[in-house]
Amino acid sequence: MKQVSDFVRGFFEDYERGSNALDLEILASRYSDSFMFAGPQGAQNIKKEDFLKVLPARKEFFRTVGLTSSKIKRLEETRLNDNYVMVKVDWNMRFEKGLDQLIVDETSATYILYQQENILRIVFQLDHQDLMKRVRDLGLLPAKD
């Protein structure tokens, strides 16, 4: 397993905390003013201000399907050059469905971070899976009438 710098580890620990608490200030500090987001359906350029506007609704949706937390399981860092670092992050998403069913699902994302002095910002995010499909496959969406 590759070593992960304390700098990168701290960045993602704060990112995890900001995501779980929906702390928009923390999340805003983690992304570049515009960034590329990619997943199984393709890639698109996203403005940070637009991204931050949709996060509360996204958080509410995931709350309704039982997501209680997302925790970093593993980080893998690859330095690309003096200004860029690639980090693969494996996440454990914890869902609680009813009182007696706990589901922990592993997801992954790869991030390209731009480093300028002592600041890191996400400039590219690749989700390795379609999260909506995962939620459906796990049986967490309410039945349609």
pLDDT tens digits for 10-47?
999 999 999 999 999 999 999 999 999 999 999 999 99
Q: Which CATH number fits the domain that encloses residue 115?
A: 3.10.450.50
Cβ-contact 16, 26 below 8 angstroms: no
Is residue 142 in a domain?
Answer: no
Question: 15 lies in which domain range?
Answer: 6-137
Assigned domain for 88 exists: yes
Structure tokens given for 140: 């967490």
For residues 122 and 31, the answer to whether their CB atoms sit within 8 Å is yes
The answer to whether residue 124 is domain-embedded is yes
Please report whether residue 127 resides in a domain: yes
Tell me the pLDDT tens digit for each residue of 39-70.
Answer: 999 999 999 999 999 999 999 999 989 999 99
Structure token pair of residue 53? 């506007």
In a domain, 58, yes or no: yes
Please report whether residue 111 resides in a domain: yes
Q: Residue 21's Cα: distance from chain center in Å?
A: 13
Name residue, tokens 């698109």: 44
Total number of domains in the chain? 1
Q: Which of 95, 100, 46 is nearest to 67 (CA)?
A: 95
Does residue 44 lie within any of the structural domains? Answer: yes
Look at residue 1 and tell me if it is in a domain.
no
Which pTM does this prediction carry? 0.91
Cβ–Cβ under 8 Å, residues 15 and 26: yes
